[in-house]
């Protein structure tokens, strides 16, 4: 297998180079993004001027309302992955990360090692947890997350909760618990739920003692004009947000039915993707059918599949699974 396809999803050009065909012929189920992205009305984007600080403040205020967080704690960033790497430098602590999880959770820190959920920390450490988790979609209740935070904070550490997929489960977020008295940081992603990953837009919700130096590191213009305009407009589109939140579970259930009909037991609570095990040759078989999924180096035989956009894409997957 091409090692590049094991790093992260979305490398259609690399997949086509390895397995053939034109990238436009491929069905990309490798990313876990909403396959029906937000496409509402966007105000004209002024490309000839520097991004306006007021536009950045408006975006952060719109995002804060969506998250249920005080706007002064919300810092917009050019992608939550970038934010995590900057936070690692600011915290200057050893990292701990769950497994399986995002590669960046471990890579962001100079030193990092695995940790099990609720495991007692060993001194002051920066512990990173995704909720819902990626790639297995495991969703942990806020009370359990906050209990772990308390155990980490007592040791002088920090808990960083990566809520990249939490738009699908707003009631499970711990954003409301971020404050100056807590050692809790929450990361949020715009691109997953809204399906516009190319904007590279994310948010850090952090106590003022961390939010201020993070803003200083990012500088005067952390985001381009399109991210400011589209992000603000999308977060204000409550009708689309509510409709999408209601539709995604139905599309996920349709994917579950197809996977189950071929003998797989799909895992995960997040309606943007499913995780399957005991599928040692399935990545290659689907790739030969021009369908890209997400394999994992440390967990061979497992795959993450994004939810198809429409019945035609689901039928294509069904036929490829049957052709084995």
Burial (CB < 10 A; 0-12, 13-18, 19+), residue 307, is buried
pLDDT at residue 113, as a whole number? 92
pLDDT, tens only, 164-189? 999 999 999 999 999 999 999 999 99
Would you call 299 exposed, middle or buried from its count of C-beta atoms within 10 A (0-12, 13-18, 19+)?
A: middle
* Rounded distance between C-alpha atoms, residue 129 and residue 109, angstroms: 14
pLDDT of residue 293 exceeding 90, the answer is yes
The number of angstroms, rounded, from the C-alpha of 159 to the middle of its chain's C-alpha atoms is 17
Question: What would the two tokens of residue 266 be?
Answer: 């799909």
**What pLDDT, on a 0 to 100 scale, did the predictor assign at position 2?**
66
**267 DSSP β-pair partners:** 275
> From CA 200, how far away is CA 129, in angstroms rounded?
21
Q: For 98-180, where are the E strands, in sequence order?
A: 112-114, 126-130, 158-162
Strands (DSSP E) along 163-268, which ranges?
Answer: 184-189, 202-205
Q: Give the DSSP H/E element, type plus range, for residue 95.
A: strand 95-97
Closest CA to 167 of 293, 32, 73, 39: 32
CA dihedral 202, 208, 212, 214 (to 10 degrees): -40
Look up the CATH architecture of domain 53-236.
Answer: 3-Layer(aba) Sandwich (3.40)
Q: What is the DSSP letter of 291?
A: E
Measure the CA–CA gap between 322 and 324, rounded to whole angstroms. Answer: 6
pLDDT, tens only, 112-152: 999 999 998 889 999 999 999 999 999 999 999 999 999 99
Band (pLDDT 50/70/90 cuts) for residue 109 is very high
Determine the CATH number of domain 3-37+239-322: 3.90.1150.10
In the chain, domain spans:
3-37+239-322, 53-236
300 contacts: CB under 8 Å, gap ≥ 6 = 280
* Per-residue pLDDT tens digits for 241-268: 999 999 999 999 999 999 999 999 999 9
**What pLDDT, on a 0 to 100 scale, did the predictor assign at position 280?**
86
Residue whose tokens read 């009370």: 143
pLDDT mean over 295-321? 93
Look-up of token digits 């359990």: 144
Mean per-residue pLDDT for 82-94? 96
- Asked if residue 105 lies in contact with residue 114, where contact means CB atoms within 8 angstroms, the answer is no
Strands 294-295 and 112-114: unpaired
Over the chain, what is the mean pLDDT?
A: 94
Is the whole-model pTM more than 0.85?
yes
pLDDT of 243 reads 97
Q: Are strands 291-292 and 27-28 parallel, antiparallel or unpaired?
A: parallel
212 alpha carbon, distance to own chain's centre:
24
Q: What would the mean pLDDT of 35-51 be, rounded to a whole number?
A: 94
Residue of 229, 173, 181, 187 whose CA lies nearest to 208? 181
Cα 185 to the center of its chain, rounded Å: 15
């Amino acid at each position: 297998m091409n090692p590049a396809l094991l790093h992260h999803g979305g490398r259609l050009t690399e997949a086509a180079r390895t397995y053939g065909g034109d990238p436009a012929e491929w069905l990309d189920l490798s990313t876990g993004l909403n396959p029906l992205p937000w496409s509402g009305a966007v105000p004209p984007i002024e490309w000839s001027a520097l991004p306006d600080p007021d536009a950045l403040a408006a975006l952060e205020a719109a995002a804060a309302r969506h998250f249920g967080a005080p706007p002064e704690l919300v810092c917009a960033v050019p992608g939550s992955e970038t934010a995590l790497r900057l936070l690692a430098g600011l915290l200057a602590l050893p990292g701990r990360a769950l497994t399986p999880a995002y590669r960046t959770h471990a890579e962001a820190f100079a030193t990092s090692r695995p940790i099990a959920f609720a495991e007692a920390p060993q001194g002051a450490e920066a512990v990173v947890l995704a909720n819902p988790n990626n790639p297995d979609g495991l969703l942990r209740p806020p009370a359990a997350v906050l209990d772990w935070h308390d155990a980490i904070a007592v040791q002088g550490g920090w808990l960083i909760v990566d809520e990249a997929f939490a738009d699908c489960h707003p009631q499970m977020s711990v954003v409301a618990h971020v404050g100056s008295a807590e050692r809790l940081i929450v990361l949020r992603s715009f691109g997953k739920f809204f399906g516009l990953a190319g904007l590279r837009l994310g948010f850090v919700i952090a106590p003022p003692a961390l939010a201020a130096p993070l803003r200083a590191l990012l500088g005067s213009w952390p985001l381009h004009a399109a991210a400011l305009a589209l992000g603000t407009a999308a977060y204000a589109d409550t009708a689309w947000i509510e409709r999408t939140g209601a539709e995604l579970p139905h599309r996920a259930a349709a994917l579950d039915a197809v996977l189950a009909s071929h003998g797989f037991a799909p895992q995960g609570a997040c309606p943007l993707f499913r995780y399957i095990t005991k599928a040692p040759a399935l990545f290659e078989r689907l790739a030969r059918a021009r369908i890209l999924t997400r394999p994992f180096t440390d967990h061979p035989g497992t795959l993450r599949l994004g939810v198809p956009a429409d019945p035609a894409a689901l039928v294509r997957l069904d036929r490829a699974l049957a052709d084995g």
